[in-house]
Amino acid sequence: MAGALNAALRDAMAADDRVIVYGEDVGPLGGVFRVTDGLQAEFGEDRIWDSPLAESGIIGTAVGMAMYGMRPVVEMQFDAFSYPAFEQMVSHVAKMRNRTKGRVTLPMVVRIPCAGAIGGVEHHSDSSEAYWASTPGLTVVMPSNPADAYSMLREAIESDDPVVFMEPKSRYWSKAPLALPVTTAPMDRAEVVREGTDVTLIGYGPTVRTALEAAEAAAAEGLSIEVVDLRSLSPFDDETVSASVRKTSRAAVIHEAAQFGGYGAEVAARVTERNFHHLAAPVLRIAGFDIPFPSPKLEEYHLPTADRVLAALDTWEWDA
């Protein structure tokens, strides 16, 4: 997936010279996850460069660049290191179009490696998606596989609105045979990645794999699970999700972030509002505990697993 993202950046930069890339260590090092590997050698320091170490500065200058017609793609090194940029993201990036009545738009992409399961020390495994998703004006997407990573990043760069592009770190090393360029579904669409009839499991980013594992295990016990990969957190694809839920009449959502006030609450509320009379059971959330992200040796206890998903599904009254 890191390779697919790298290819997407390369192709976008080649296709449009307004596309520029900067951030911490994105130049000669190629980023700490090597997503920008080789790009500086290819496009030069006017197109991709190492910025000073300042996240608020990175986002704030990207606002100015985008105002002047560039299409900056900037990197926050890890999710928790985007917090110094909160002010710029929430007060300016998200609101510019609205406060200027559409006269100023910000075609920029903020790439954020996110979530855990890589044995990272403190501040390297946060899930910050709910902060961004609850900010009107931001588009928030999270691919779960290499093909989507390529296609969605290309689309995000072409978008005239700012996009928070979240990259699940634990999927960086996932592999898939790809003939590039690849175009998958539009980035604001969810996708049914496994068909089923009894339950709809909704995941995004790192938890799509967990959902698929759960579905596999459930199939062995005769339970047919449909898995929906949200792909886009904001906007939310009600159509795809509702269609699936109406088919199965049961839904659960999985994410790594803490449950309380988490993104799953939005999913559960929307699914219920739109499909109440089609639901045979309450919508469930399987999430991280309501604790700060644990240190590496304890993260396995915190992260939602396929077993936890299945145990949660067992709490429904299946005969009713």
Residues with catalytic function: 124
x/- mask, another protein, residues 101-140, rule CB under 8 A, reads ------------------xxxxxx----------------
Give least dist CB 303 to another protein, A.
12
Token pair listed for 179:
């003939």
Q: Is residue 57 near another protein by the rule CB under 8 A?
A: yes
The residue range among 13-21, 23-31, 96-104, 175-183 that interacts with another protein, by the rule CB under 8 A, is: 23-31
Candidates 11, 18, 47, 84: give the one binding ligand TPP (CB under 6 A): 84
Give least dist CB 81 to ligand TPP, A.
4
Candidates 15, 53, 298, 311: give the one binding ligand TPP (CB under 6 A): 53
x/- mask, ligand TPP, residues 89-128, rule CB under 6 A, reads ----------------------------------------
Between residues 1 and 230, which has the closer beta carbon with respect to another protein?
1
Q: Is residue 173 near another protein by the rule CB under 8 A?
A: no
Catalog residues that contact ligand TPP under the rule CB under 6 A.
24, 53, 55, 77, 81, 84
